[in-house]
Amino acid sequence: MSDTAPQTAEVGVIGMAVMGSNLARNMAHKGFRVAVYNRTASRTDEVMAEHGDEGTFLPFHDLAGFVASLERPRRIVMMVKAGRGTDAVIKEITPLLQPGDVLVDGGNAYFGDTRRREEEIRPTGIHYVGTGISGGEVGALEGPSIMPGGSPESYEAIGPVLEKISAQVDGEPCCAWMGTDGAGHFVKMVHNGIEYADMQFIGEAHALLRAAGLTNAEAGDVFESWNHGDLDSYLVEITSRVLRAKDPRDPATDLLDAIRDEAGMKGTGTWTVQTALELGVDVSTISEAVFARSVSSALPLRTVGQQTLEGPDRTISVDDRQAFIDDVRDALWSAKVVAYAQGLDEIRTAAVEYDWEVDMGQVASIWRDGCIIRARLLQRIKDEYAAGDLTTLLEAPSVKAELARCQQAWRRVVARAVEAGVPVPGFSSALGYYDQVRAPRLNAALTQGLRDLFGAHTYRRVDDEGSWHVNWSGDGREVRAD
C-alpha cells in the first residue's frame, strides 16, 4: 500500500524490529487496521512482504503520512530502543500530534524516564503512556501480559486495543491500568526483577540435584514432574527442555555443558534493586540474583578463587533420593514466594511514594499468562489479595500455611548445600528474609547502640518516645536528643 492510501488506521506501531512487528501482527490478527512505520524503510517493506497478508496493514515510509493515516484520537505504540532512541522519536512525532492523542512507549524504559517524559508532554494535551509488555517475541504475537500506566483518560482510548491483544485467562485480559505516569513501567521493572530471582532459584535447584548425582536429563525429568504441581510455571516448563537438550554440534554432549556459565543482564534487575534501596524496601532475593550474574561474569575473580580457595567438593550424599528431590522442590516453592512477596512490597511502597493507585491483586492477575513469570502461584496470589488487604504476601492464609509446611525441608536444603559447598545465595537469602520478618527482635538495637557511640546518631527506646543519646565519652548520662 502506498503512502497516499486513503484508508484510515485504528492504531499505529512505530518500530518494526521483532517485538514491534509481532505486536503489529497481533493487532491485525485481532481485526484492527494497523499503520506501521520504521525509521529504516526497508525493514517496513520486509515485514509487509513476509506478513502483509495476515490482516489490514497500512505501511508508511514517512512519519507524517503515518500520523495522518490514524483516526482521532490517534493511538500510537512505540516499540523502539529505550533511552535516546525513545527521546528521538518523541521529539520527531509530538509536533505532528494533537491534544487527546495517545503515545504509548512499549519499550523497557526506566520508570523515572517515563515520569519525566510524561510530565514534559502533559502540557501539550498529548497522553504519554509508559507501558510494560512481557512475553518476548512469542508473547507479542500470541498475547503478552501488558502493564500500561498514564492517565485514566488515556486508558479509555488505548485500553480496549491493549486488552484485546493481551493474553486471556478465564475470559479476563492480562492487561489492566496500573496507575499514572511511570506506574506501568515500574510494575514491568519489578516483574523482571522477580524473573531474575526465579531463574536464580531454578539454577540453584538444578545445582543441588546435580550435586546429589542426577544427570541433566534426570534433572529435566524432575522439573517436568514439578511442572504438574504447585511449581507449574513457564520457567519450570522450559527448564526441563533446556536440561534435556543435546548439543547440536555433538549429540553425545548435553547442550547445558557446552554453554559458558556467564549470565548477562540488560538493566531491569539492577533498576529493581537500586530503586528498592531508594525506597527502603528489602528485595534481597532479587539482589542476590543480580549479584550472582555479576559473579558469573567476573572471570578473573573466579579463576583466582578456583585456584586458591579451599572447601567441600560440592557433592551431596543422599540415602533417599526422592526425599531429597522433594525437599528441593519445597525450598524452590518457598523461595519463589519470598521473591514475589518482596517484589509486591516494592510495588506497594512505590505506589504510596508516587501516589499511584496500584491494585496488587490486579498485578498478580495480569501476570497469570503471557509473561515470563506466569505461574500457577499467581492465581493463589490474586485470590489472597482479593480476599483482604495484605501488608505482605507472606501473611496470606494459604501462603503462610504452605510455608509452614515447607520450611523444614527448606532449612534442610540450605544446610546441606552449605555443608557441601554448593552455592545457594538465593535460597539462603529468601530463608533469611523469612526469619527476619517473623523475628520478635532483630540485631538492629545493637546497630543503633554502636551508631550512637561512634557517631552520636541517637536511638529510640522501647519504653519511651523521642530520640536519645548516651554521653559515651563523658559521664554516661542519657539525654534526650529531639
d(CA 221, CA 243): 9
Per the omega criterion (within 30 degrees of 0), is the bond before 73 cis? yes
The answer to whether the annotation marks 457 as part of a ligand binding site is: yes
- Spell out the residues 6+ positions from residue 229 whose beta carbon is closer than 8 angstroms to its own: 329
The answer to whether the annotation marks 75 as part of a ligand binding site is: no
The answer to whether the annotation marks 343 as part of a ligand binding site is: no
Contact yes or no for 184/127 (Cβ under 8 A)? no
d(CA 404, CA 385): 20
Q: φ, ψ for residue 363 (rounded to 5)?
A: -60, -50
The answer to whether the annotation marks 138 as part of a ligand binding site is: no
The answer to whether the annotation marks 135 as part of a ligand binding site is: yes
Which residue in 118, 163, 188, 204 is the catalytic one?
188
Contact yes or no for 284/178 (Cβ under 8 A)? no
Query: Angle of helix 397-420 relative to helix 377-387, nearest 10 degrees?
Result: 140
Estimate the share of the chain in helix, then strand, then coil, as percent rounded to the nearest 5. Answer: 55, 10, 30
SS3 397: helix
The answer to whether the annotation marks 233 as part of a ligand binding site is: no
d(CA 41, CA 456): 65
SS3 304: helix
> Which H helix or E strand runs over 58?
strand 57-60
The answer to whether the annotation marks 84 as part of a ligand binding site is: no
Q: Which amino acid is at 167?
A: A
d(CA 284, CA 376): 23
d(CA 144, CA 387): 26
d(CA 471, CA 481): 11
Q: Which amino acid is at 187?
A: V
The answer to whether the annotation marks 434 as part of a ligand binding site is: no
The answer to whether the annotation marks 134 as part of a ligand binding site is: yes
The three-state DSSP-derived secondary structure of 178-218 is CCCCCHHHHHHHHHHHHHHHHHHHHHHHHHHHHHCCCCHHH
Could you confirm whether 195 is annotated as catalytic? yes
SS3 274: helix
Strand order in the sheet with 459-460: 459-460, 467-470, 478-480
The answer to whether the annotation marks 334 as part of a ligand binding site is: no
The answer to whether the annotation marks 246 as part of a ligand binding site is: no
The answer to whether the annotation marks 469 as part of a ligand binding site is: no
The answer to whether the annotation marks 122 as part of a ligand binding site is: no
- Spell out the residues 6+ positions from residue 225 whose beta carbon is closer than 8 angstroms to its own: none
Could you confirm whether 71 is annotated as catalytic? no
Here the cell at position 179 is 496507575
Contact yes or no for 208/413 (Cβ under 8 A)? yes
Which residue in 195, 204, 288, 346 is the catalytic one?
195
Contact yes or no for 196/263 (Cβ under 8 A)? no
The answer to whether the annotation marks 184 as part of a ligand binding site is: no
The answer to whether the annotation marks 19 as part of a ligand binding site is: yes
The answer to whether the annotation marks 210 as part of a ligand binding site is: no
Contact yes or no for 222/231 (Cβ under 8 A)? no
The answer to whether the annotation marks 293 as part of a ligand binding site is: yes
The answer to whether the annotation marks 191 as part of a ligand binding site is: yes
The answer to whether the annotation marks 40 as part of a ligand binding site is: yes
The answer to whether the annotation marks 18 as part of a ligand binding site is: yes
The answer to whether the annotation marks 147 as part of a ligand binding site is: no
Look up residue 30 and give its DSSP letter.
Answer: T
The answer to whether the annotation marks 80 as part of a ligand binding site is: yes
The answer to whether the annotation marks 451 as part of a ligand binding site is: yes
Give the residue ranges of the annotated binding site for substrate.
108, 134-136, 191-192, 196, 266, 293, 451, 457
Give the residue ranges of the annotated binding site.
15-20, 38-40, 80-82, 108, 134-136, 191-192, 196, 266, 293, 451, 457
Active-site residue list: 188, 195
Give the residue ranges of the annotated binding site for NADP(+).
15-20, 38-40, 80-82, 108
